[in-house]
Amino acid sequence: MGYLVLLDRNNDLFDVINGQQGLTTISIIVLSVLHYLSNVLKDEPFVADRIAELKSSYIVKRSSTKLIVEHKLTLNKNNNLVFTRLINNENLPLKGLKPTEILMRECFEYFNKQISTLNRNGEGLAAFVENIVNKIYFTRVIVTDELNAYKVFETLNSTGVKLSSTDLLKNYLFQIVDDAADDNKEEHIKIIDNKWSYISGRLENDDFPDYLRAYWNGRKRSLSKRIYTRQLKKKLMIQSQHLI
């Protein structure tokens, strides 16, 4: 499954820097199985026990400090509403969704259809999930601060794991803030991350680099895909000199 880059917040809470799509897709597969168990096989013996076991293993956990049930994976604010509805086995709206939310709904619908063709009972579906999970491996990298996290992220790109120009630019923005003589750098990093999530939530992921290049070309001289990231970095460096 490639690299899973995690930013360690407190030994129990991690920010996923790289690997979000893989973790989300795996979670949606499990949620599709839970949906099938809850809606199609609901009268089968022990189905409630299987649902509870699958949920506690892969989807939710009970906080020992807050004594509440929490999601093991939480998406950004642009996508978490749909993900939460899937976890709660609620119907998804057909309209008013962001592009990334539409993709999640289509992913869920796809796996629902595939699981229905398996024609398995509850025990067979539980074995199906375990078989998938036991065959999945990530190369896990854990770091303890934002700068190291995004340095690892950019290094992976140089070793063959292709990242988009927008990913690299976001990494560079984090580096600029981290290098600045500013006591509020952590807060500024959060602001950048929130604004970036808002933009990416309004756009298809694959469209973000094209949008950014079109934005640049509409205000500066036209640049090819190959060199516009370098020019953006150069301009950011010049504008940020007074911060460093």
Q: What is the pLDDT of residue 244?
A: 41
pLDDT number for residue 160: 53
Q: Given this model, what pLDDT does residue 236 score?
A: 55
pLDDT surpasses 60 at 224: no
Quick check: helix, strand or coil at residue 154?
helix
What is the per-residue pLDDT for 97?
82
* Residue 123 predicted with pLDDT over 90: yes
Q: Mean pLDDT in the chain?
A: 79
- Model confidence pLDDT, tens digit, residues 99-114: 778 888 999 999 999 9
pLDDT score of 23: 92
CA distances from 162 to 154, 165, 171 (A): 9, 10, 14
Q: In what order do the strands lie in the sheet with 3-8?
A: 14-18, 3-8, 139-143
pLDDT higher than threshold 90 for residue 17 = no
Q: Is the pLDDT of residue 242 over 50?
A: no
Pull the structure tokens for residue 209: 């680099």
HSE of 162, CA atoms in CB hemisphere, 13 A: 2
The answer on pLDDT for 124 being more than 90 is yes
